[in-house]
Structure 1
């Protein structure tokens, strides 16, 4: 699992550090944030102390209304649990008392100009992805007309060349060679790169190319939801390829089932066009339409 520090949070969201500058190495180990409202009034039964603590307008306004003695007690009861950090939203001021407590306990106190709900949504999404179970596989990840596709196959089968053709047709590269798959919820797999290969595509006899520099920023995106797995294989004359097969096949990644298609390669086949057709056909299936089912209905109606 990836280690996230308070400094990572500061850098990612450009947060202002008000206290605890020397403690930004503290680690964050939970994928959601918490607003300590009940804790300020003395209820600690279910206090998630390992979470980032966010102080919005309600929390800060409440603290402002307390006497100095009451405020010291209420804040002291929370900071003694040493959460990773506190983040004040809306660029709220008048925080001298909070700065003093956090400085004394060595807890980073951060501030964001963002509204509380917006900040929480973005941080939760960031932490969820950072802590998601992940696996790295050999393949190519592309986004074709909004459909995230994982291209797999043996080395030299033509995955990267297919991706190049798709990019030239206006689609986007996500990752080449090393694809990182992250399970962000029980039914959702996201494909991304491993940072080192970001924007790079490896082509045999050509070498590495930077697709963003050659084809523009729109030719690349950092991540995509994986909804289709396509395996490129060598055509076998002995195989019976049933193009009217109605049953959907699946593969599993991190216990999530992904629809699977096999495309056998033959000289002259436009593989990129087949991938585009598969993506568009999958989109129609999501809308409830199946060309194969309609065809079979026509056959049956004539019999």
Structure 2
């Protein structure tokens, strides 16, 4: 099923439909746009017909200078069966040849009052967002000291309870139970909540609570970039847990790697405080301050500076 159709662009970018209404449900499969200058000049060998075509003042001014026969032929070629839409900028007048061809081939022609450059940027940003790779993860997403923290772990380990404690301490909830993640440009992961469970938190024994109603609008957020994964697991006495934190563990979500911290859970451990410290420590590392590495360097220097015990007897 197509993620974006021409009708979505029409509604979300507040465009005006001029012709080709029968093709409004054509799928858009790429965020790349095309300004068909060479195609209007007659060179269609490499015409990217699967892209949304954008016509500005330059293209239309050139088109006006073509002979009538060429104008009809070029618009017939431009309105391909695979072309999702043709968009006109600056509220420019649309040639009759384009309107007639679009009606014959059911290619939607839409118009915007934005400049060509602004429209190109806005349309590209919208399509990149909507066509970005997506996935869903079982977990809780919060903003802790400005860091997008994704809590994961087996059901019943205490993710939602830790999230509730963090919200009470002034941090913000994005999603509980199911986190929808999309990968945007530059390997950026952005998490949101499904509309059905937005602002809701499930606490065993209490049921479902509305975080915004209980704690106010400052306790929730619509979306957040994910930069840290805190994985909660029940304490295993036979497992050796990291006690220095020198090497960062990673988890791969879609095609992007995120720093992962594994926190063992057992009675008496204050998970909210540990998660807060994990978020602050992650921020420090991004600023170039690695406490574990500094400690290791100090320890190595102390060992090197200690005189060889054997030399006392020489």
TM-score by length of 2: 0.84
Indicate the residue corresponding to 1:28 in structure 2. Answer: 28
Q: CA deviation at 1:207?
A: 2.4
Matches of 1:63 and 1:170, distance apart in 2: 59
Indicate the residue corresponding to 1:163 in structure 2. Answer: 163
Q: CA deviation at 1:222?
A: 3.5
Deviations 1:49-81, CA, capped at 9 Å, x for gaps: 111112233223333444544433332221145
Does 2:29 correspond to 1:8?
A: no
Indicate the residue corresponding to 1:252 in structure 2. Answer: 252
Matches of 1:91 and 1:218, distance apart in 2: 41
Tell whether the 8 Å contact from 2:80 to 2:107 is kept in structure 1 after alignment. Answer: no
Query: For the structure 1 residues 80 and 256, does the alpha-carbon distance in structure 2 shift closer, same or farther, using more than 3 Å as the test?
Result: closer
Indicate the residue corresponding to 1:49 in structure 2. Answer: 49
Tell whether the 8 Å contact from 2:140 to 2:175 is kept in structure 1 after alignment. Answer: yes
Q: Point out the more displaced range, 128-137 or 6-15.
A: 128-137
Indicate the residue corresponding to 2:130 in structure 1. Answer: 130
Q: CA deviation at 1:277?
A: 1.9
Larger Rg: 2
Indicate the residue corresponding to 2:282 in structure 1. Answer: 282
Q: CA deviation at 1:206?
A: 2.5
Query: For the structure 1 residues 280 and 113, does the alpha-carbon distance in structure 2 shift closer, same or farther, using more than 3 Å as the test?
Result: farther
Q: CA deviation at 1:198?
A: 2.6
Indicate the residue corresponding to 2:300 in structure 1. Answer: 300
Deviations 1:75-133, CA, capped at 9 Å, x for gaps: 22211455111112233335554333322322111122333333333333332343333
Does 2:171 correspond to 1:180?
A: no
Matches of 1:283 and 1:147, distance apart in 2: 7
Query: For the structure 1 residues 276 and 93, does the alpha-carbon distance in structure 2 shift closer, same or farther, using more than 3 Å as the test?
Result: farther
Tell whether the 8 Å contact from 2:140 to 2:151 is kept in structure 1 after alignment. Answer: yes
Map 1:184-195 → 2, pairs under 5 A: 184-185=184-185, 187-195=187-195
Map 1:94-243 → 2, pairs under 5 A: 94-185=94-185, 187-243=187-243
Aligned pair count reads 303
What residue ranges of structure 2 are gaps of 5+ in the alignment?
304-314
Superposition RMSD in Å:
2.6
Query: For the structure 1 residues 99 and 165, does the alpha-carbon distance in structure 2 shift closer, same or farther, using more than 3 Å as the test?
Result: farther
Tell whether the 8 Å contact from 1:20 to 1:109 is kept in structure 2 after alignment. Answer: yes
